[in-house]
Each structure stands twice: as structure tokens, then as C-alpha cells.
Structure 1
Amino acid sequence: MPKPIRILMTVAVVVMAAMTTTPVAATPTHPLTRTITDMAGRKVQVPVTIHTVLATAPPPTTFVYMLAPDKLGGWLGRISKNDTQFIPKAYRDLPTFGWGRRAMNYEAYIAARPDLVFAGCEPGMDPSRAELTQAKMGTIPVVCVDDTRNAVGYAPTLRFIGNLLGVADRAEVLIRYYETVLDEVRRKVATIAEKDRVRVYYAEGNNGLSTDPSGSPHAQLIDVCGGLNVADCQLAAGSGMTPVTLESVLMWRPEVIITTSQAFAMHAAGNASWQKTPAVKNRRVHLTPSQPFNWFDRPPGVNRIVGIPWTARILYPTLFSQAWLEGKVREFYSLYYHHTLSEAELGSLLGF
């Protein structure tokens, strides 16, 4: 081969190698990262383009799934087979990350290589707590978001995450549904006189003898929907569930009992002592729907939006019709869970 041709070929190989192995550097006009202020007031540098997100708690995980499911890198805890029927197939088999009493597996988060990790925070939280999580996540940016234990305060977090993940328009659609339902319920129950408000007990645990009083995020939908939470007990921080006695419940005389425990719902129906309450006597014990996530509590997060019309309906059926509830549930599942409910699925959720 003539020498000039060999020289040209060598130059071509070098140029091609440089094109395929050298990353494109950030420039002032096309940066690879940007600095944001998260919901705890921290300055955080995040990628301009975000492909994959994880979270360290269930509420922000659910936010991501609702807003940008294709960016969700995994679930917190394992989703049961019964719940997956309400989740599109594309998202059912995402990796799962441990949640609960066990220590977080930070190595698993790092190995998954997300573009950022959302950590739940509460208003006024000490930002140094988030810095501890950041230190364990290494170079993966940790962004604090309000974990919205406040059922009337979901809009700011929906908007913040929507803007950050590039789905601001979708966030506004979800907010419109949420605020419309919330405003309608609050407006209608505001007309109910105090003496006419339904007396409600939130029965937790398999024996129904743990509860959360008014002011607790775990029982907040009772307050939002115009019920009178009869629990006269200490407000427990964190996971709540204040122990009470059956004698106290009988004295409180609840007209409606809400429970997340199927075991308790069955127990109360056949127990002579519980049958002394007006709620059990009049068959107004309501088991909360829970697929794919609970409508009323645990977690007390954005999954409770659909619980607002449900709770309003069971407390005040003359103000909120069954047809109205069914329409709101169908719309919620389509918008938030990316799933069109069949008539059979709607019936299984609502118990008809």
C-alpha cells in the first residue's frame, strides 16, 4: 500500500475513535446539569435531562408513578399480585427496594444508577437530615420533596415534581382534577350544621382498638369530608395508631366506622360488643378500598385523593350520589394510575 494512503487511513481511524469514545462536554449554552432549590430549601445540582428516578419513601414513589411512570426506576416494597391488575404491565415488574423496619439498602440504590433520588420531607424539616441521606447516596443527587401528609396540600408537590421531570402540563391536569374534587366536597359539607355531622371512628388493627384522633394525618379525610372524629385520645406522632379501649369506643357511639383491616370488619359484624355501636348496628362499617394503594391511609400520601370522594360518599350519601362517586373513581384511575377500570374492577373496588 502506498505511503500516502496509509497515512490517510491512520488519520481516519484516529478521528473515528475520537468521535465514538469522547463524551460531549457541557458548554455554557448547553449544560449537563442545573441547580435547583428543593422543597426543603436546599440547593441541589441535578441533570438537565432526567431519565430514571427512585425515592426513599412510598409517597414520593407514588408521585413519580402518577406523573411520569416511564421515569420510575423501582417501587418501595413489593406490590401484591392482586394490586398489579390496576397497574399497566410495563410498570408491574420494576425492581423493588426494601421499605419498613429494615435499614435502607443504599448500595442497591447506587447500583441502580438513577439520575436522582427523591427523599420525603416535612415542612420545616431540618435540611441536615437530607444531607445524611445525600452522603450515603454518593454522587447521586438527593432532592427533598414534601411527602404531603396533608391531604389538602398536594398541589405544590405535584407541580414541583412535574416541573423537575419535564411533565409540567401533566401535573396541571392532575392538579385540576384534585382541586375540583376537593373544592366540591369542602363546599358541600360546609353547609352541614355541627349537630348534624356524622360521628366517625377510624378502627385500626385487627381488633379495631387503635385509632387516630382529629388532627392526625392518618385520619385527616374524616375532617376534610365533614365528619366528626369521635376519638378522644392522645395524638401520636409518626405512624400514629393510639391504643384505646372498647369501652371508650362504645361511649363515643360512632355512627360510621372506617377501617383498613378486613379482619376487623369481619370481626365487628359478628361481635356482640361491637354490635352495640350505632355503626355496626346500622351496617355502616366501611372497609377502605386499597388497590393498588389504599384510599384512606398508610401511606397518608397522594394516593388518598381518590379517598376524598369515597369518604364523602360514605359519610353523606344524600349529598354525594353513587353515580358521582363512580365517575370520580373512573377518572382518577385513568388520570393517576394510567388504567381504565372495567365494570368488574370498579365493582370490586366499591363493593357492588
Structure 2
Amino acid sequence: MTLLRRFVCLFLFCTALAGGLASAAPITLTDVAGRKVVLPKPATRVVLAQARYLPMLGILTPDPVAILAGWSDEFKTSYASDYDDYLAKYPSLAKVPVVGRHTADTFSVETTLALRPDLVILTSAFAGIRPGTDASASPLVRAFDAAGVPVVVVDFFMKPLENTVPSIRILGQALGHEDRAEAFISFYESHMKRIGTQTAKVSSKPPVFVHAHAGSTDCCNSPGVGTFNDMITFAGGHNIGADVIKSATGSLGFEYINSRNPVVYVATGTGAGRRSGTGLAIGAGVELDAAQVGLKRVLDGAGLGALSAVRKGNAHGIWHGFNDSPLHVVFIESLARWIDPVGFKDVSPQQTLDEINQKFLTVPLRGTYMVDLPVAPGGASR
């Protein structure tokens, strides 16, 4: 072998070795709870404490089910039609072990550890980590730390406008798909900036009533502080629930709602009860006319037809699954248009959802996710 050939071979060997060492470098990140987390490599056996984040994994990886070692059962129960769509594409989803329901008190640490995960994804709310509290006080975090299992804490619920982008970036790092994470972040931030720039020009914020899980609970469940409240404010409205409800959710009576005279009424639902004829029929597999019938049924059942917003045709329904998800950008755009149809005439939430389906989601959201109450020719809602 000539000296030149030896040099070339040595160079190629060193380059390959350096590349191997670089790919084997551990991943170090800081989650939204301020915890330093180190993973030896991108996670390939992930446990979702809350199954609602499966679409989030689908944004970040081409096959989210392939890396799913365990999850809760809420996707099957609360989002049954969405589950069917995922199952059709990923039949192996039916065999993913269940580690609990969607609440911390049903979550099994023992079952999770038996699955040998290399990453557990928790949320601030699920882990009981409140703003300003030490994450190490969480029993779930302590249990997995003691077992040597990496945990990342993300948040799309408690402080959605503050923690959504960091949470996406954290998950992109943990799964080894920073490029996909940054692509979605760019899309998300551009749409949010478009709304924020316009609402910043408005001095007054009209009252808005969001009727959460409409028809499936007693009238009337409403967001308080955080979560939907932050989104309502960002969209240019004032959440009437936040004035009297100082927790994430609570209940409002008709007298109070009517006295506040909301200019926009928004019902949310998952469509889970549509087979039994309860709640708002909306989401995967729901046709527009069925969603409109469901919205009217909710309004009639709660006696909300006398509200000015309803009488003037500014009553709407939207999929509750946009909450606790970076897809809340669709909710915010919808609400901004309902509050200020002139200022946001060029904003199309449906077009935004279509673009998310086309560019990011491995399983598109197919169905009706936003609905308006039909208005009769005379101007009153039907």
C-alpha cells in the first residue's frame, strides 16, 4: 500500500470514528421545570403519562407508535375517533401497554418501570409541579429519578404561551429530531405573531364566554386562570370566567353569564358523547351538519339561547383537543376572527389546520373542528 493510500485510509477511518463518537454523544437539555436531563442517546422507548400527546410525537417523528413503550388510556376513551384513525395507520398501537388513565392518581410507576423506558414524558400539571415550586418535590419525578429513568417535564397547559415553544424544542432534542421541532416552531411563531401584532393595537377587550366540555357537564363549566384564559387574552378578548374563577376551571351560573353580556360564545367538546346524543359533536369523523346540530343542542339544553351573543349569531363550537397542545394556534386564530372579524378577515383557521395536516401531522385531523351556529335570514340564530 502506497503512503498516499495509507494516508487516505487513515483519514477515512478517523472521520468515521469521529462521526460515530459525535452521534454517540449524550443529549443534555433543560426541561420547563428547570431540571437538567441527560439522555445517552435519542429516546426510542417512550412512555406518555398522558396519551393526548401522541399527535405531538407525530409532529416530531415520522412513526410515533414505533417509539411508544406505554401510555395512558385517555386517547381511546376521550378521543375515540382520533384513536381509530391512528389505529388504522398503526395497527401495533392496539398492543401498546396502558400505564394508567389520564390522572396522576391512576398512573402506575411500577408498570412503567417494568416497560424499561428510556424516557418518560410528564407535564407540569400531571406531575403536580406548580409555578415557583421545586420539581424535586413531585413524587413522580422523585420515583423515576431514583430508578435512574430519564424524565422530561413539558407544559402546554399551565402556561401555554410561555412554555409551548420550549416544550416542543425539548421533545425535539430528546427524540433526536431537532430539525422537525424547529420547523414546527417556525410555523407556530409566525402564526402567533400575526395574531399578537393585530391584538396589540386594540385597547379594549370584549367579554368572551368559553363553555368548556359543553353539554357533558352541568351548566356551565368555564376556564378560570391560565390555559384557555391566556389564549382568550392573546386573541383579543376578556374571559369572563377569570373574574370569579381563580383556579384553572370552575362553574358559572346563567345569571352571571348573562349579566356580563359576552359578545362571543364558544362551546368546546371532544365529541366523545356524540353517540349518546350528549355534548358537542365535533372532531374526527364529524360532518359539519352534525356539529351544527350538536351546538344547537348544547345551547338549548343549557338555556343559553337568550344570550346576546347567541341571538346575534356569534355562537361557535370548537374541538377541546386544541387545548393542552401546540395546536392551540388554531383555537387562537378562530377566537380572534370571532372577536374581530374585520381585523382578522385575512386569517383562516381552517387553512392553518389544513397546513398543519399537510406538513406536520403523521395522521391528519379529519372532520369538523370548528363550527358556527347557523343564522336565519332575519339575523337570529336558528
Give the Cα separation in 2 of the matches to 1:61 and 1:84: 10
Q: CA deviation at 1:160?
A: 1.7
2:369 matches 1:349: yes
How far apart, in 1, do the equivalents of 2:326 and 2:255 lie?
34
Q: CA deviation at 1:93?
A: 3.3
Residue 48 of structure 1: SS of its match in structure 2?
Answer: coil
* TM-score, normalised by the number of residues in structure 2: 0.70
Q: Alignment length, in residue pairs?
A: 310
Consecutive unaligned residues of structure 1, counting only runs of 5 or more, are: 1-27
Contact residue 201 and residue 229 of structure 1 kept, 8 A: yes
3-state secondary structure, aligned to 1:93: helix
1:112 to 96, 112, 115: 115
TM alignment of 1:189-200, pairs within 5 A: 189-194=199-204, 197-200=205-208
2:175 is aligned, of 165, 170, 190, to: 165
Q: Distance in 2 between matches of 1:134 and 1:270?
A: 48
Residue 297 of structure 2 corresponds to residue 288 of structure 1: no
Q: Secondary structure at the match of 1:119?
A: strand
Contact 1:35 1:43 in 2 (8 A): no
Q: TM-score, normalised by structure 1?
A: 0.75
Partner of 1:152: 161
Which residue matches 1:279?
309
1:258-269 to 2 correspondences below 5 Å: 258-261=266-269, 263=279, 265-267=295-297, 269=299
Q: 1:57 aligns with which of 44, 50, 54?
A: 50
SS in 2 for 1:107: helix
2:344 is the alignment partner of 1:334? no
Question: Are the counterparts in 2 of residues 116 and 140 from structure 1 also a CA contact under 8 Å?
Answer: no
Contact 1:55-1:118 within 8 A present in 2 as well: yes
Could you say which residue in structure 2 is the equivalent of 1:220? Answer: 230
- How far is 1:99 from its partner? 2.2
Structure 2 counterpart of 1:210, from 221, 224, 244: 221
Q: Distance in 2 between matches of 1:272 and 1:29?
A: 63
What's 1:246 paired with? 254
Runs of 4+ in structure 1 over 4 Å off: 28-33, 58-62
Cα 1:135/1:116, change in 2 over 3 Å:
same
**After alignment, is 306-315 or 126-135 more displaced?**
126-135
Tell me the equivalent position of 1:306. Answer: 330
Root-mean-square deviation (CA, aligned residues, Å) is 3.2
- Quick one: which amino acid aligns to residue 170 of structure 1? R
Maintained 8 Å contact 1:34/1:47: yes
Alignment of 1:87-98 (within 5 A): 87=86, 89-90=89-90, 92-93=93-94, 95=96, 96-98=98-100
User: Partners in 1 of 2:188 and 2:138 — Cα distance?
Assistant: 29
Q: Which whole-Å CA distance do the structure 2 matches of 1:318 and 1:217 have between them?
A: 26
Assess, with a 3 A threshold, how the Cα gap between structure 1 residues 31 and 336 changes in structure 2: closer, same or farther.
closer
The equivalent residue for 1:72 is 68
Matches of 1:272 and 1:63, distance apart in 2: 34
CA 1:328 to 1:105, structure 2 compared with 1: closer, same or farther past 3 Å? same
| Ranges in structure 2 where 5+ consecutive residues have no aligned partner | 1-19, 270-277, 281-294, 373-382
CA 275–86 in structure 1, closer or farther in 2 if over 3 Å, else same = same
**1:228 to 1:82, Cα distance in 2 relative to 1, 3 A:** same
SS of 1:97's partner is: strand
Deviation at 1:43, TM superposition (A): 4.0
Residues in 1 aligned to 2:26 and 2:132: alpha-carbon distance in whole angstroms: 25
Q: 1:174 to 1:35 in 2, by over 3 A?
A: closer
Shift of 1:235: 3.4
Whole-Å Cα distance in 1 between the matches of residues 67 and 170 of structure 2? Answer: 15
Cα deviation, residue 111, structure 1:
2.5
**Distance in 1, Cα, partners of 2:42 & 2:260:** 55
CA deviations 1:136-195 (Å, max 9, x no partner) are 57635232323132232311111122122211111110001100110001112223341x
Structure 1 vs Structure 2: percent identity of aligned residues? Answer: 21
Pairwise CA distance, 1:90: 2.0
Greater gyration radius: 1
